[in-house]
Each structure stands twice: as C-alpha cells, then as structure tokens.
Structure 1
Amino acid sequence: MVTLGEIALIGASLHGMAPGVPVAGTVLVSEGSLRVLAPDQALPADCVQVDCTGLFIVPGLIDGAAGHQMEHDILYVAAGVTTVRHTGAELARGLAEARASTRDQVPGPRVLYGGPRMAAETSVPGMQWPMASKGEDAVRQLASLLSGLAAEGVSLEGLVNDETLALSSWRALVPAAKEQGLELWGPLPKGATLEEALELGQGGIMGMEALLPPQGTWEESGNQAGVEASIQRLAKGGTAIVPMLGVLGRVLLEYPADTPELSFLSVHMVPLWTAERTRWQREVTPEFRARLEGVQRAQGVALAGLVASGARVLPGSGSPNPWLFPGRSLVEELILWQAAGIPAERVLQAATRGAAEILLPDEPKVGTLLDGAPADLLVLAQDPTLDIEALRNPAYVMVRGKLLTRTDIGARLAALRKSQADARAAISRHLDIEPPKLSEDARILLSGEAEVYVAGLRLTQEHWVVGRLPDGMRLYGSHLIHLQSAGQGGRETMLVQRIAKGVLESFDLSVKDISSGKVMSLMGRRIDGSNQMQVERRLDGVFISNTPLRDQPALLDVSPALTTMILVQHCPAGENPVLTMEGATAEPRIWPWDLTVGDDGLLRVRSGAGGVLCGVDEHGAPLVHSRVRGDRRSDFISLEVDMHGGRGTPPVKSRVSTMTPEPTPPSTTSEEQPVPTEDDKL
C-alpha cells in the first residue's frame, strides 16, 4: 500500500471530469485530495509515479444503503466501494464507526451514518416491546434523543425506518424530523401511500414496492399505468428512491455449498446465509422462479422509467443481508441496472456523482475527478462506460489517498479469511476463567458464570462476582472474555463497579487486546460533593485523557451480568444515564436508558444503543439478558450460580423474573464450512 508523499497516476483515461469521452491526463494525489494534470505537465520531483497506461480511472463507488460492519472494510475496498451509507446500525455503533478517527485506522470506505433505525417493535425471547411509541409519543422521544445528543456535541444526518414502524408514528416522525433538518429514509410502512410520503416530505424510499398501487403486485399487467403515474409523482416530488434490485435478484442465483464467499464472513453470519440458501433451494420451484423472473423484468422496466424521468435514484446494495456480499453486491446491483436498459455511462454516474449529489449535496466534488476532489478512485483495465462489468476487480483502489494494489488487497483478504477461520476455532472452546478480584475485606454474596450467544454462536464468556464491604458498599466484578472475530480480536476485560446507597461511586476497567497485548485502562471516580464523575483513560499506562462526564452514570455497560444486576437492584423506572465506552480508544459517552418494569418482573430498556430485556431470579442472579442492536440480537445464558452459603442478593419481589429462559443451542448446520481457495478475486 502506497501512502507516503505525493502519488502520480500516469497514462490513464479519466472518467469523472465531465460527461462524454474520457480525458487523457495524470492524477496527482497529495494529502487525501487530487488534481488532474495535462499528460505533458511536469510532475513534482519526489512524487511516486504509477504507470497506468491503457487503464481507466473513475471515482470511487458509493453504496447508498448497506449495513456496514468494520470487519467488511476490505471487502468494500476490494470491490471499489469507497463510501457507504450505513443504514443498519444502532445509534452508538453507527456514530462510532462513522467517526473520522475510526475510519483513518483502516483502509476502509468513508461511512455516512444514516441514523438510528425507527421500528414499531422488536422481538426477544417470549416478549415484544415498543422501540418507538405511537404518534406524538414518538415525536417526544425523538426530541429527547436529539437534545441528549446536542448536549454531547453530536448531531445526526438523518433517520431510518423499517417496515414495522407504526403508521401513526411514521406520520408524526416524518414532519418532526424535517423540522429538525433531518430526513427519514426507509420502506413505506403498511398502509402508507406514495402520495402521502411525498406530501409529508419523506427523504428517501427504499425498495420498489412504493411504486405499486394499493394492493397491487408486479405480476399484474394492469398495474403498469399506476406504476408509471408513481414514477412521475416521484420525479416531480424530488424524494429519492433506492431500488435495490439485488434483493430479489439474489434469490435467482445458484450458490454451491463450497462457495468461497462464506469464508470471509463471521461465524455469526454464516448460519444465516446458509439457512437462506437452504430455504430458497426448497421454495424456489421452476414455476416460482418463472414468476420471480417476471417480477425482476417488471422492476427493471420501472427502474429505467425512473432514470428517464429524472427522478433521484440512488444505487444501494442492501448488504450484508444473506447473499448480498459486502462491496461486490453494489457492482452486481449496477449490472442489474445495465441489464434493465440503462446505459453503462449513466449507471456509473448514478453510483458516483449522482449518489454524492443525493447524500452529500454540500460536497460538490465528491464522486468526481475534479481538482480538489477527495482521493477516492478506481483504476480499471476496461472502460466501464461501455460495459459496467468492467468495475469488477479493479487493478488499483485508492481510498482517502491510500493506494492499494491487487497484491495489497489479496493479502488483506487472505488475512480476513485467516482471522475468520481462527475465530471459528476459538469460539468452540470453553474457557476456564478466573473470578475477578474484589477488595480483600469484601464478603462474597453471589457469583456465577455465563455466556452470550448471537445467532446460536458464542460471543462472550464471563465469570462475575457480587460482594459487600463492611461499610455496606456493594461491589460488582466481572472477568469477561470477548471471543475473537475478524472485525475485532479477542479481548479480556476486567471490571469492578462500586455502588453506595444506590450511587455509582467508582469503577476500574481494563481491556486487554489479546493479540497485541495492549491494555486500555479506565478509572472512574465520583467527584466529592458533586453529582459528577471523571473518567481517566490510559493506554499501556500512558495517560490519554481525564474526562468529566455530563451526568452521573448509574452504571458502566460492559458486562451483561453486571448491567442486569445493577439495573434491577439500583435503577428506578424512567430515564437512567448509562456510561458506555466507544471505539478503539474507549471514549466515554453517556446514553439515556428509558427503563420500565413489567408485571413479569422483567426490565425493558429503550436506548440509543438498542433495546434490552433483562431480569434476575429470587436470589438476584442474572437470569435473562437479551439485547437488540440494529438487526442483531444477543442472548444471555447462565451456566452456574453460587450463593456462597447465603441468600444471595434478593431483589424486591416486583423485580423477580417469572420468565424461564430457554437455552440457546449452539448453531448447527449440515453444511461444512467453506475451504479457502487461492483465488482472492471478489
């Protein structure tokens, strides 16, 4: 990877200056931006020269709708995707991943956070609860969220809804968000119409279903006039649409059991993909396939009509939904556009400058090769304005001024594969974890071991302890191992939280990266005589910062077991400030957690970090902790509990869970894991 000094890409034909034929020139890159020189113009004496004779340079691709994950960074870059609009994350993770400091740590795409996902309800074992209340309650929740973020100096670019959002909530949220300068993007909720969406000011629509008349289908030829009318309304109204033809197209493709793509995916994602493949193989009969192909053709005709009408059409992949491979699925989406009759040059424009005009209207040079544009570009062997298939396997990819060759990309892909294989091996091993160390004069009241599973696969293993000091202070300790994944190496966490009279007085946290050995330490202390806490951070003992928190936190959310017990024992119903540590640098941030207690003794939390359902047994031991973050759910399994000859820490009767959780079985599949190949072309 070439990163030092100035880089000159010499001899290529350039697309991205203006529509039409390519321009001959040299692209000179310096400090993350580019300028174009004439072929005979002198170059700086010390620049790195890269011969691109006979090749084609285009701006980097923009994926307008994807669920970005850090471990997929190299998959996006390998496919030439240099900007991703992230539409699938909870608030805390979305903000952290989009932060420039996070992006600069990896050669990954720029991430535009689309905003928290607004949904009507989400399910956890045996329970459902609202994630966004109906009607005006949803507006009040939005106002509270934005107020809290503003106090932290954080702003949002938009909001995302899914199809479960209640119609009354949607009708209230769209104009409320618009008043705050935010756009709501997503599929239309059940019962909503395109006319109503345009009137309310919906920012963007995901999927083609909104073009159909009420109760209409793509298989009915009589709906063509209604679809054409919707196209004209959309073009006139200015609301953007993300077609996502690949969501249907993926069902029509064949996926062999040894497909190499699966070896790049996490152990938690592979079972979801293989289960979908099995379901499609069972359900997509020849007759059903013929019907789906007819729907695909009808949607292609509608897409061509949208583009011809001048509507704002944004390419988006929908990755990483099953068989929408990160990065490559955007190129495959563009190939479907070309198959629908849209000229390759117009398709390329939609995925570069056209996408930037919709998502980044205040950055007029993004998606171009104009002087001063960000140095995000692809070098290709063939001209993509003649055939969009030329976007596959670029010879070079430059992201934020860093130039990656196919050799660089291949090495990083191989490293990702190895990391995923190592994670699969590590996740199957049970660990002997020592209990956390509390103060020597602490009396141990309760202890136990637990695991957390995602999609049936183990994510963490933990040994937790509850103790009490002679003065009555309660101690909560955790020794937690976060098992390795490709996106994040294994981590060993030690945490002690000290609570007196219901108030978090102090905590000590250390997080060790198992692969590098680096240790991030955090020490939180309540300031005497105040309702405020300061948090000191150190990396390998070297001081980083001392941060005063805006609010006194009720707890530090790191351990599922400790979070459950502290919520039950010490937190009242209503809003509770909870401290989280975000990103690789563990930056402290307070999030308001809205806590309610059900008749079943379970606690339900709604927050910017997702939803939590938790509870304890009659002895105070954690029994349930299910968490929803974006589209991912994790489940807590208690392995053993020791009351050390006493009664434990019994909670008030109203907070004893009456729910008996069902064990989450390890994921099983009849299909063997894919065998890595030498071919790293994606």
Structure 2
Amino acid sequence: MMVPTATRTWVGLYARQHSLSRLLATVMVGVLGGVQTSECRAETTAFIGAKIIDGTGKAPIERGIMIVRDGRISAVGAVGDLAAPAGVKRVDVSDKIIIPGLINGHGHIGGTVGLQGGQYSRENVLRDLQLNARYGVTTVVSLGGDQAASVAVRDAENTPSLDRARLRVAGPVVVGKDPEEAMIRVDSSVQLGADFIKIKVDGAAGSRQRMSKEVFKAVIGYANARGVPVAAHLYYLDDARELVAAGVDYIAHSIRDRVVDDAFIAQARKAGVYYCPTLMRDVSTYIYESEPDFFADPLFLAEMGPGILDELRDPDRQSRIRTNLQAQENKDALRVALINLKKLADAGVPIVMGTDGGPPGRFQGYFEHLEMEMMVERAGLSPMQVIVAATGGAASSLKLTEVGTLESGKWADFLVLAKDPLADIAYTRSFESVWIAGNEVPRN
C-alpha cells in the first residue's frame, strides 16, 4: 500500500437517441483523437493460458482462453473445454492473469491541466481518457462539469477501433434555489445527453448553500420519471436517509459524519441504492502535508508532467495543509468512511469503486489503484469484493451493459497482469498490457 498507514432518458430527448446525435457520432469517429480511422478489421484473436477473473465474482478460470472478434468477446472458457478456431491470431498469456478493465464510478474528465482546474476542453477530455486507459481504467463515469464536447466524445466510442477509455457523463451539477429552477436544469442536462443527474446536498463545511429536501425530492422524481438516474454528493447520514427515501439511485461519496446503523443499511438494501466510497478524495485533502510514498512509484511518475511534484513538495503548501482545519478533520472522516464501507459491503449494499479523481491533486488512473488498496487494506474488504466493485459490480449498478465482465458479447476491455490481485490487490498495478475493444492501448 503506497498510502501511509496513518492515512494508508424524458428518454426521447436523450442525445444518443436523436438522429442528429447519431450523425454526429458517425462524423466524430473520423475526427476525434484516440479513435483509429482505418477500416474495421474482422480479426479474431485468442488469448490463451491465463488465469481469468471475469468480474462476476465467480471462481476464476485457472487456465483459460478468451476469444475476441471485432472488438468483442466471442467466447470464454477453460483450455480443454474451448478451442481457438483455426487460423486465428494466438496470444500466449500463460502464467498471466486477465481481469476486466477497471471502471471508475466517480471521476471528473477534461477540467484539469497539471494542478490547474477550470481548463475544460475537448482536447483535455480526450487526453484524460487516454491517460485513464494507460492506467487500466477503461470506463470513467464523469459526475459533473461535463459539457457538449464530452457527450460527443462519448457518442463516438461505439467502435471496434477504440483505444481510449469509455465515458459516461452527468453534465453540469444540478443546483437550484427552488424546485422549478432545479427542474429547468435537469431538462437542460437531459437534452445535453446526460447519463446521470448529479446533485450536491451538503453545504461543504459552509462553502455553499445546502440543497433543500424540497428541491432534491423534486429533482430526483423529475429525473427518474425521464429514466435518468440521480447521483448525490453527500456527507451526512441524515441526508443519506432522506435521499434514499426520496428515491436517489447513487450515493456518490462515503457517509462520513457517523457510523451507519442497521436501519439505514436495511433502507439502502431495500431501495437498491448503490454506494461509492471515494476514499482517495478524502486522502487527497491532506496527503500532501508531507511527501507521500507514492511519489517514489515509477507507475505514478511515468505520467507526471513537469513541475507538478515540485509544487506539491513546496514547504509553504505543505504547511498550509497541516494547519488547514478541514483537511485535518478529513482524517477522522476517513476513519468513519472505512467503517461504513465495510458494514455496507458486508450487508450486501452494491459497492462501486470510484475516486472523485480528476480535480487538481487527485491523479486519475493511478488513484484508482490506491482506492482499491485502501478498500482491502484499510476497510477490510476481500480482493474479490473489490475487483467486482471495480468491474462487474460497478457495471451492473451503473447500467453499463456492454462492459465490466469478461463474457460473450461484451466489449473486450481487459488488463493482462503479471501477478494475481486475489493474492494482493496491489497487483492490479502489475498490468503488462491494457486492451480496449480488443485493441492494445499504446504506452505513453
């Protein structure tokens, strides 16, 4: 563990269903970076000999074969039960481990350059998706700050020549002083083509106005009637109770003020709400008070732009963090978050791995690996629980029907690892190659 121990669808308006959006997607395939424009090849490839962890939670196939055609998985099975067709390309992955591509259920795409926020552009969206892919994160759910360029990028991804991470978007965060204003913003996001509606309920330690119960109930009902799920930024258990009662779909941060009780656990299970802990979000608020261990990790350093580490090492910056009350309080909040994650996971509440990565200092792609390590090493989940939360479980909760598991018909998004993450979850970092739609992701 690299984190120190002490820290250690109105459906008819849905953009993709518009003929105009479909036309745009077709055009964008030819112009967006990260999507190859060569004629789609019908090549079939068999990956032979690896241990296959399929993302469903079932026991792995100890020596497996996975056949990929036109970017999708056509068959998966054990060597001896399944044979590669004659004439196909064969890739020997003996002694390797294959897992599905990772899903970050809570990120933010395209808004940061270096340590500077407010930099949203199409170029940055594409850059971030390529960065995520290089780290093995093959799908990102961007929960807020998304604009039309993100929707266009998303709508151009349904191709077997894709080699960047897939994207789902929430559009701008929905706010409003009253239900009418908030519902106008929901309409705007739905017309944009949002996959989710994002709301922020808590007051962020007094830095913004709380969303009233009247407003969030109206938003949730209005969005759900249009087939668009609602993700909620929250902090407090009492807010979580009211949000679940109102029909929220997705709790997009940990409950951090107090330990959840049996009544809330039963309420969450009955409602089918899914829960994203974003542990690294809290860690990121105080970890730079000194130099983190991961600053020495070659995997982290491989993607660092010039000057970023120098800025984070600045003594004045470190001192400000050490004396920042909110940053220091987040250490206690994290302890509560870890307890709540374990209680909810053990009770069967669906868990979605996510980091709230993307803003300055929350290093997307890399932080997902640290998040999974914390889920095991600090919260006490099993490696299999966490792999499922980052793959098939996340896909099921987030209604990502074509990714997340290594099953026939799904997109061939996967990682080839040198070491077994069931033995040590840190071995998700041992990836030797990342594949999206059956295409090997280029190294930086």
Q: C-alpha distance in 1, partners of 2:360/2:171?
A: 22
| Residues 150-549 of structure 1 aligned to structure 2 (within 5 Å) | 155-163=193-201, 164=208, 166-167=211-212, 168-188=214-234, 193-209=239-255, 217=257, 223-224=258-259, 227-250=261-284, 251-252=286-287, 254-255=290-291, 264=303, 274=312, 279-284=317-322, 293-339=331-377, 340-360=379-399, 363=401, 366-404=403-441, 408-409=442-443, 413=444
Return the index of the structure with the highest Cα Rg: 1
Residue in 1 that maps onto 2:96: 55
State the one-letter code of the partner of 1:171: K
Amino acid at match of 2:393: G
Q: How does 1:572-583 map to 2 (within 5 A)?
A: none
1:402-461 CA-partner distances (Å, limit 9, x unpaired): 024xxx41xxx2xxxxxxxxxxxxxxxxxxxxxxxxxxxxxxxxxxxxxxxxxxxxxxxx
Match of 1:8 in 2: 46
SS at the partner of 1:11?
strand
SS at match of 1:8: strand
Structure 2 residue aligned with 1:588: none
State yes or no: 1:135 paired with 2:179: yes
8 Å contact 2:231–2:251 — kept in the other structure? yes
Change (3 A) 1:206 1:279: farther
1:194-219 CA-partner distances (Å, limit 9, x unpaired) = 2221121112122223xx5xxxx4xx
AA partner of residue 70 (structure 2): E
Would you say 1:39 and 2:111 are equivalent positions?
Answer: no
Q: What is the alpha-carbon distance in structure 2 between the residues aligned to residue 372 and residue 53 of structure 1?
A: 24
Q: Which SS does the other structure have where 2:360 is aligned?
A: coil
Matched, 1:85 2:141: yes
- Is the CA contact (8 Å cut-off) linking 1:170 and 1:189 kept in structure 2? no
Q: In 2, are the aligned partners of 1:382 and 1:390 still within 8 Å (CA)?
A: yes
Amino acid at match of 1:183: P
Q: What is the Cα deviation at residue 103 of structure 1?
A: 7.7
Partner Cα separation in structure 2 for residue 286 and residue 137 of structure 1: 35
Residues 580-607 of structure 1, C-alpha deviations (whole Å, 9 max, x = no match):
xxxxxxxxxxxxxxxxxxxxxxxxxxxx
Q: Is the alpha carbon distance of 1:176 and 1:276 closer, same or farther for their aligned partners in structure 2, counting shifts above 3 Å?
A: farther
Residue 251 of structure 2 aligns to a residue in which SS? strand
1:378/1:396 contact within 8 Å kept: yes
Q: Which residue in the other structure is 2:168 paired with?
A: 112
CA distance change for structure 1 residues 382 and 196 in 2, over 3 Å: closer, same or farther? same
- The unaligned stretches of length 5 or more in structure 2 are 1-35, 110-124, 202-207
1:95 lines up with 2:151 in the alignment:
yes
Secondary structure of 1:43's partner? coil
The SS at the match of 1:54 is coil
Residue identity in the other structure for 1:370: E
Identical amino acids, percent of aligned pairs: 25
Residue 182 of structure 2 aligns to which amino acid in structure 1?
A: A
Preserved CA contact (<8 Å) 2:133 2:165: yes
Mapped partners of 2:310, 2:189: distance in 1: 32
Letter matched to residue 274 of structure 2? A
Match of residue 129 from structure 2: 73
Q: Any conservation in 2 of the 1:345–1:386 contact (CA below 8 Å)?
A: no
Structure 1 Cα separation of the partners of residues 228 and 326 of structure 2: 41
Greater RCO, CA 8 A, separation 6+: 2
Q: 1:36–1:106: structure 2 CA closer, same or farther, 3 Å change rule?
A: closer
Q: 1:255 to 1:74 in 2, by over 3 A?
A: farther
Structure 2 SS opposite 1:392: helix
Question: What TM-score, normalized to structure 2?
Answer: 0.73
Q: 1 or 2, which has the higher helix percentage?
A: 2
Q: How far apart are the structure 2 equivalents of 1:325 and 1:101?
A: 23
Q: Which amino acid aligns with 2:414?
A: L
Secondary structure of the 1:85 match is strand
CA contact (8 A) 2:197 2:230 kept: yes
Report the CA distance shift for 1:291/1:157 in structure 2 as closer, same or farther (over 3 A): closer
19-28 vs 173-182, greater mean Cα deviation: 19-28
1:241–1:278 CA distance, 2 compared to 1 (3 A): farther
Deviation at 1:166, TM superposition (A): 3.2
Deviation at 1:176, TM superposition (A): 1.2
Query: In 1, distance between residues paired with 2:250 and 2:79?
Result: 42
Secondary structure at the counterpart of residue 380 of structure 2:
coil
**Using a 3 Å threshold, how does the CA distance of structure 1 residues 382 and 330 change in structure 2: closer, same or farther?**
same
| Paired position in structure 1 for 2:33 | none
Task: Provide the secondary structure at the position in 2 that maps to 1:36.
Answer: strand
Q: Return 233-242 or 370-379, whichever deviates more.
A: 233-242
Task: State whether residues 86 and 111 of structure 1, in contact with CA within 8 Å, keep that contact through their aligned partners in structure 2.
Answer: yes
**Is there any run of 5+ residues in structure 1 with no aligned partner, and where?**
120-131, 218-222, 414-682
Q: Distance in 2 between matches of 1:281 and 1:6?
A: 56
Aligned residue type for 1:61: L
Return the letter of the residue paired with 1:173.
V
Distance 1:60 1:277 in 2: 38
Tell me the number of residue pairs that the alignment of Structure 1 and Structure 2 aligns: 373
Offset at residue 144 of structure 1 (A) = 6.2
The Cα RMSD (Å) is 3.6
Is the alpha carbon distance of 1:24 and 1:322 closer, same or farther for their aligned partners in structure 2, counting shifts above 3 Å?
same
Return the offset for 1:91: 3.4
Shift of 1:157: 2.3
Q: Aligned partners of 1:141, 1:72: CA distance in 2, in Å?
A: 26
Task: Work out whether residues 227 and 302 of structure 1, in 8 Å CA contact, stay in contact via their aligned partners in 2.
Answer: no
Among candidates 49, 58, 82, match of residue 19 of structure 1: 58
3-state SS in 1 of match to 2:244:
helix
- CA deviations on 1:634-673 (whole Å, 9 max, x unpaired) are xxxxxxxxxxxxxxxxxxxxxxxxxxxxxxxxxxxxxxxx
Distance 1:85 1:144 in 2: 19
* 8 Å CA contact 2:57, 2:385 repeated in 1: no
Structure with more of its chain in strand, by fraction: 1
Q: Counterpart in 1 of 2:105?
A: 64
Instruction: Name which of structure 1's ranges 34-43 and 344-353 shifts more when overlaid on structure 2.
Output: 34-43
Task: State the AA in 1 paired with 2:350.
Answer: R
Deviation at 1:62, TM superposition (A): 0.6
> d(CA) in 1 for partners of 2:325 and 2:173?
36
- Provide the C-alpha distance between the structure 2 equivalents of 1:324 and 1:280, rounded to a whole number of angstroms: 16
Distance 1:341 1:189 in 2: 21
Q: Tell me how far 1:376 sits from its aligned partner.
A: 0.5
Q: What is the deviation of 1:78?
A: 2.0
